[in-house]
Amino acid sequence: MNRIDAAFKNKPIFMPYFPLGYPDLETSIDVIEALAKHGADLIEVGLSFSDPLADGSVIQKATQVALEKGITVRKSLEAVKELRRRGVEIPLVLMGYYNPMLAYGLEKFVGDARDAGADGFIVPDLPIEESAEMISALTSYPKGSAVEAQTADENRPSTTLHSAHDGGLPLIQMLAPTTPGERMEMIARNTKGFIYLVSVTGVTGERTSISEGLGALIQRVRQHTSVPVCVGFGISTPEQAQEVCRMADGAIVGTTCVKRIGGSEKPVETAKQLAAEFRAALKEPRP
């Protein structure tokens, strides 16, 4: 069983987002480790880019700081590898934009990310209609890669959790309230891992309430797929996450994580507290 599927055995899940390199590289690694070990079920690991079109001002500022401090794709992948060395076992899904992946070399990027311990990718500016090259890279296995060696190891226990290499690492697809019905069906039927459902139109950021039409939107998506549906954009509090997860399989929390942790004098301790708060809210029995 791969790590993403295993995470959803205990729904609903808490999925924080945090960018590598913010407020500096070492602190960001410590923060992600703290989130992983104190309540997160899956982490959306941010790869910084100079033009993050899907992100609001808080995340834009954080990723700009990371770039100014010298974060790169290569350093980010090394950070993922370090997190695995530290015993982080939950899924780590890389969230980044397409241009830096192309600049790195798409097949090399996918292979290095896989070998570092990544479990999948979220690429907001890559529509499914233009994703053939990325999907091809995701479903191929470079000779000599760590995953190829691991797959060939007949002595490896069948219960071991590993990257979702059966059919390639998943390219997580995003759906929004504005997605036309025909396109929503096409994306939902062809997705792997989970659906990233954008709860509102616009960019990431904190909201004071949950969209009134969210329940109906989730039901529309569920008509076309059996994979888990996770909701992001605008979830700011444990109470909002709990409300969302009465309908969805997971809550994605980005801006609040970046704002609270990045603005703290003790970011690692704040990360532990935040993860525990959201986990407690989501693991309460559903009414």
Q: Kindly name the residue from 33, 41, 44, 112 that is annotated as catalytic.
A: 44
> How many whole angstroms separate alpha carbon 285 and alpha carbon 28?
32
> Cα Rg for the chain, rounded, in angstroms?
18
Burial class of residue 273 in the structure, from the number of CB atoms within 10 Å of its CB (0-12 exposed, 13-18 middle, 19+ buried): middle
Cβ count within 10 A of residue 108: 12
Cβ count within 10 A of residue 52: 23
What phi and psi, each to the nearest 5 degrees, are found at residue 169? -65, 145
Which 3 state secondary structure label does DSSP give 71? coil
Q: Kindly name the residue from 5, 24, 41, 55 that is annotated as catalytic.
A: 55
Q: What is the DSSP code string of 229-284?
A: EEEESS--SHHHHHHHTTTSSEEEE-HHHHHHHHT-SSHHHHHHHHHHHHHHHHTS
Task: Check if 119 is active-site.
Answer: no
Bridge partners (DSSP) listed for residue 154: none
> How many whole angstroms separate alpha carbon 69 and alpha carbon 39?
28
95 and 45 Cβ atoms separated by less than 8 Å: yes
91: closest CA among 162, 145, 146? 162
DSSP H or E segment with residue 171: strand 171-175
Active-site residue set:
44, 55
